[in-house]
Amino acid sequence: MKIRLYNAYVITCNDNFDIYENGEVWIEDDKIVYVGPPKINFMADKVVNCWGDIVMPGLINAHSHVPMQIFRGVAEDCDFQNWWYDNIRPFEEIITEDDMYWSTMLSIAEMVRGGTTSTLTTYFHQPSMTQAFETSGMRAAIGVDVKYRVPAEVRKKEWENRHASLDKGNPLVTFFVSSHSIFTVDEQGLNDCTSIAKKYGLPQCIHLCETLNEVGNCVKERGVTPVEYLEQEGFFDYPTVIAHGVHVDKNDIEILKKYDVSVAINMGSNLKLASGIAPVTSYLEKGVNLCLGTDSVASNNALNMFREMYLVSTVQKGYLKDAKVVSAKDVILMATRGGAKALQMEDKIGQLTAGYQADLIRISIKEPHWQPINNVLSNIVYSADASDVVMTVVAGSVLYEKGNFYIGHSYSSICEHCLQNIQRLKDTIKKSNS
């Protein structure tokens, strides 16, 4: 299919950060074939007059747990320990594959509605996630975890069997080797992860330095910080994304830069769980690749990347009492090119350039909170909201446009399944506690 978007304010996020105030983007099949000022001689199947709206790369959510969507609001006003151990884990012990499929579908609906075109996501039972992404047509990198509750001698084989069953050669679904954290995966498990990553040429992801409790226990038990511990284990010898990176020191940041580790900042979740504030400015000063994540809606309550952009910038300004740090442009690049690099797809997504995948969004500028427009980049970060997105395209396919979803299921059906499933889970837990 050929799509032509014209009369658009095009923000490319390319190497020169080119902007075309009256620009066009042409799509043929799954790729961008032209970006620039108005041209003729492109016969498109779908022609979209953007009426001055913004067209930019789709946002990349570099840390999520999409099957947890039905847990939105079940654990509130508690810190990480109470949130996970006391409230979330009881649900995780009884959640089914069907629950996770429909929960993932609801996450996909929220993401494409809000301008997110790809995500790095982890959770158990990857087949349900994979099926949902393949049904919807959204792009995803799925973390396949190395089981930490099975004997060490069968870990690798079990992982290989699961990965083989998942990898059907779909270019929209790629895979990471996933370790939950240093406090749930033992040393041998972490070593198994790195050996699998080496064998299959896959990147790794892990939660790291999320809470002071995690860091303190690591220093107490091992005499080193979590970052130093993973360096000792050779974990960073392969491309890695760490989620959170809240509690790190100068040496930790130097190590992360040395190994070109990507850090997924989850400001909304970290604030809500009182986990702390990641040193975004220090990361930027050292040249660490930063990307943005929402974490799950069980801890964040939304998969809203516009809110994450706002928080990452404004919280740093307030925390450091310096309005100059973390500019709007910095944050936009984190949400696009930074995420693309984290997903090992910097040569395919994250910018609007001919030859790249056609992952893009159209943002309406018609609402009052956009007017008057004195600085477009500032408006995207400080004024815009996910609800301003009126079109989301992934690999040349329109997944959302002006209230209509094209993700394999009706939105009403997805909501109905999720409501029924969470009610069943709550009834089960209530019965077991009575």
DSSP structure string for 119-177: EEEE-S-HHHHHHHHHHHT-EEEEEEEPPSSS-HHHHHHHHHHHHHHH----TTEEEEE
Q: Domain for residue 386, yes or no?
A: yes
- Do residues 104 and 150 share a domain? yes
Q: How do residues 243-273 score in pLDDT, each as one tens digit?
A: 999 999 999 999 999 999 999 999 999 999 9
Q: Domain for residue 218, yes or no?
A: yes
The pLDDT of residue 432: 84
Cα distances (Å, whole numbers) of residue 337 to 186, 279, 320, 321, 322: 33, 20, 25, 27, 25
- Do residues 336 and 202 share a domain? yes
Q: How do residues 391-416 score in pLDDT, each as one tens digit?
A: 999 999 999 999 999 999 999 999 99
- Do residues 45 and 85 share a domain? no
Nearest residue to 369 via CA among 356, 385, 357, 346? 385
Q: Domain for residue 425, yes or no?
A: no
The dihedral built from the CA positions of residue 227, 283, 323 and 20, taken in this order, carries a sign that is: negative
Contacts of 244 (CB under 8 A, 6+ apart): 63, 207, 208, 209, 210, 264, 265, 266, 270, 275, 278
CATH number at residue 21: 2.30.40.10
- Do residues 263 and 401 share a domain? no
Distance, CA of 166 to CA of 11 (rounded, Å): 35
Nearest residue to 76 via CA among 63, 65, 67, 87? 87
- Do residues 92 and 162 share a domain? yes
- Do residues 286 and 313 share a domain? yes
- Do residues 252 and 311 share a domain? yes
> How buried is residue 269: exposed, middle or buried, by Cβ count under 10 Å (0-12/13-18/19+)?
buried
Q: Domain for residue 432, yes or no?
A: no
The pLDDT of residue 399: 98
CATH number at residue 171: 3.20.20.140
Q: Domain for residue 427, yes or no?
A: no
- Do residues 225 and 310 share a domain? yes
Contacts of 307 (CB under 8 A, 6+ apart): 268, 385, 386
Domain boundary among 312, 342, 372: 342
- Do residues 235 and 305 share a domain? yes
Distance, CA of 10 to CA of 7 (rounded, Å): 9
Q: Tell me how many domains the chain contains.
A: 2
Q: Domain for residue 416, yes or no?
A: no
Long-range contact set of residues 424-433: C-beta below 8 Å, sequence gap at least 24: 425/70, 425/91, 425/94, 425/95, 425/99, 426/74, 428/94, 429/90, 429/91, 429/94
Q: Domain for residue 97, yes or no?
A: yes
How many other C-beta atoms lie within 10 A of the C-beta of residue 125?
Answer: 16
Q: Which residue positions in the chain have pLDDT lower than 70?
A: none
Tokens of residue 106, six digits: 């609801």
- Do residues 231 and 272 share a domain? yes
Nearest residue to 250 via CA among 217, 283, 226? 283
- Do residues 187 and 220 share a domain? yes
- Do residues 189 and 176 share a domain? yes
Domain span at 152: 59-342
151 preceded by a cis bond (ω within 30 of 0)? no
The pLDDT of residue 285: 98
